[in-house]
Amino acid sequence: MVVGFMAFYLFWPQSIDLPKIGTVEEWSLTEDGNSQDFHDKPKLISFFFTNCPDICPMTMWDLKEFQKLMREKGIADDRYIILSVTLDPEYDTSERINQYKELFEITSPNWLFIRGSLEETKKFTQYFNFYYEKNVDGFVTHSTSMYIVDSNDYIRAHHDMAIGKKRVNIEEIANHLEMLIK
């Protein structure tokens, strides 16, 4: 009986499916004006703005470590997508976003930085109940969550961005994406 209980306990986390907590109904945002098909792979959705002084850049560094972890787990870049969505499309032009990517040495073809109009961005964030607001000085205040979306556009999990000394839990994100890739 003890062996049975131990086996049940050890395999329980793998047998739980991620819940469906919402749906992304429309993908109107693009990278450099080029639309992409995001539907065939699981995605990690993060939000940023290039003038962010702390949370966004710390999260970018952690997501670079996340990509290394995925490769160490034997999961190729072409099995999933990272989508970083600007919350300030007026300021974050394609040129500024490309400079931002260069600053963080982000070159992976599966890590896309997408943007849309103010209206498209607002509509997209509503799928996630993601709050953000730009003040009169141009500073953007925003929620600090990232989201995992499966290949059928269901939102399956949310994770915290890097805040202060608390880093992104890249192991948990990798495990969640791995569950959706298999």
pLDDT attached to residue 18: 87
pLDDT attached to residue 100: 96
pLDDT attached to residue 15: 46
Q: Does 1 reside within a domain?
A: no
Q: What is the mean pLDDT of residues 171-176?
A: 95
107, with CB counted inside 10 A (0-12, 13-18, 19+), is exposed
Q: How far apart are CA 144 and CA 26, in angstroms?
A: 22
Give per-residue pLDDT as tens, 31-40. 776 666 666 8
Its pTM stands at: 0.86
Q: Does 6 reside within a domain?
A: no
Task: Please state the separation of Cα 116 from the chain's center in Å.
Answer: 17
Kindly report the CATH number assigned to the domain that includes residue 89.
Answer: 3.40.30.10
Give residue 4's pLDDT band: very low, low, confident or very high (50, 70, 90).
Answer: low
Give per-residue pLDDT as tens, 33-92. 666 666 689 999 999 999 999 999 999 999 999 999 999 999 999 999 999 999 999 999
Q: Does 14 reside within a domain?
A: no
Q: What is the mean pLDDT of residues 151-169?
A: 93
Residue 131, pLDDT > 90, answer yes
Q: What's the domain count of the chain?
A: 1
Q: What is the mean pLDDT of residues 168-181?
A: 94
pLDDT attached to residue 9: 47
Beta bridge partners of residue 160, listed in sequence order: 145
| Closest to 154 measured CA to CA, from 76, 43, 67 | 43
Residue 175 domain boundaries? 19-181
Here the tokens at position 99 are: 């400079």
